[in-house]
Structure 1
Amino acid sequence: MPNSKIGGHYSQAYDEELQQAVVRLLQMAALAQQQLDDAMAAFIGADTELAQQVKDFDRKVNNFEVDISEHCLDILARRQPAASDLRLVLSVLKAINDVERIGDLAKRIAKALLKEEQGNRPQQSQLDEIAVMGQKVRLMLQRALAAFEQIDAENALAVLREDKAIDDDYARIMQHNLSMMMNDARQIAISLQISNVAKALERVGDHARNICEHTIFLSKGRNVAHLSDAELQQVVDKKRD
């Protein structure tokens, strides 16, 4: 795992087992990222074959979650880690849940295309909007995972703040779709389809934000769920005792 801060950062007695947990998490995340990329490409390009592949491969992400969870629980049972070691194991356990949900959301996007009535495609303006939002979400997820691997609280906080832009995109798409449905009843099914994809992307952004919070917890030893951005900044700026 090049450039990772995990190796050598924790207790040497079982550093390899801890690093393996992170390696598997990153492998799982890479698969979920690919699923999301493929789901968006399938939806934008009306590629039903690729969408079916995304749906069928979802089990691989789920299998990773089970494998990593068992690995972490085995570490907890045999090693009874404390302090930073325990935080790492707990952070991985939390992160795999978020990554698994991202895989589920990628499948939801793929299914939105598979359920689409033949010849009933969204307008290009709708596809363009959802493509822009999707690109922001995918970049946010990529950067969130990089921050986790590097245990970089500052970068995690910066990435976490990108969620606001994704929420704004979601609100704008929903408003656009509402206007289209009110102006033309024939647009209802298509607009609902776009809304479902936008909601899935918005939720991926939420899970990327969660991964950033896990990174701050791992780095600073503080549970930061439900804190404001200003409070998060204070936690990140504070040096560890």
Structure 2
Amino acid sequence: MPEKHLSSQFDVELGQISTLVLQMGGMVESQLHQAIYALQHLSVETADQVMKLEDKVDSMEIEIDREISSVIGRRQPTARDLRLLIGVSKTTANLERAGDEATRIACMVKSIIDSGMPRSLPTSELRVASELATGALRKVLDAFARLDVEASLAIINDDLHLDAEYDGFLRKLITYMMEDPRTISPSLNLLFLAKAVERIGDHAKNIAEATIYIVRGTDVRHTTPEQREAALQ
């Protein structure tokens, strides 16, 4: 949290907003864990649980946005406090979108089960990418809670590993489809699943960038690793 203010109530309000963000993040993290479980075990029940959480996540985003607007209107924050509120707004937007991707995974799992997808397709090979995305979301929530620039920077750099996993999985699916045209339809389902997982990693990266913006006031979006390191010296 930023330094103390003359108004202790302002500190309380900022703390309450940050707490809401972490609660929302925990809910999205639970969605993702359940979505991956549903995929690995082809569980309709677990997929349904993921989809039920979507409304709660959406409601939390609206609540946090309302709180931010209220604080800005009443307190007219400046400098770092305004950066905090802007960064929080970006964070909640990315958490909501990550939750959407988890819900999309759950919907695709139900579609795959209904279509009787061949068990020979490489669903298990999504596990590595899924673990990377889950780990990135967990780490970025911790980095946000501690306003940790170094941890945020590491999360941004690690996103390249998830991109590489996605590219490798895509190549394997193309091979399956070329060898057996009957696998084209279920393979496309898996492709959409893999893309949803990759996007969750992107949203974690975006939250890490927002955290750096909160702490340093530096925009590191669309920069190379070298540019980021130089900007944060």
TM-score, structure 1 as length reference: 0.92
CA distance in 2, matches of 1:57, 1:151: 27
Is the alpha carbon distance of 1:223 and 1:11 closer, same or farther for their aligned partners in structure 2, counting shifts above 3 Å?
farther
Extract unaligned runs of 5+ from structure 2.
none
Contact 1:122 1:190 in 2 (8 A): no
- How much does 1:122 deviate? 4.1
2:46 matches 1:45: no
**Within-5 A mapping of 1:1-241:** 6=1, 9-13=3-7, 14-116=10-112, 117-123=114-120, 126-237=122-233
- How much does 1:119 deviate? 3.2
Extract unaligned runs of 5+ from structure 1.
1-5
- How much does 1:223 deviate? 1.8
Deviations 1:174-206 (A, max 9, x none): 110011001101111221111111100110111
Corresponding residue of 1:3: none
4+ long deviations beyond 3 Å: none
Q: CA RMSD in A?
A: 1.3
CA distance in 2, matches of 1:37, 1:79: 38
Deviations 1:36-60 (A, max 9, x none): 0000100110100110121122000
Contact 1:122 1:194 in 2 (8 A): no
- How much does 1:229 deviate? 1.4
CA distance in 1, matches of 2:20, 2:116: 41
Contact 1:51 1:110 in 2 (8 A): yes
TM-score, structure 2 as length reference: 0.95
Deviates more, 1:97-106 or 1:211-220: 211-220
Is the alpha carbon distance of 1:74 and 1:122 closer, same or farther for their aligned partners in structure 2, counting shifts above 3 Å?
farther
The amino acid that maps onto 2:180 is D
Give the paired residue count. Answer: 230
The amino acid that maps onto 1:123 is S
User: Alignment identity in percent?
Assistant: 33
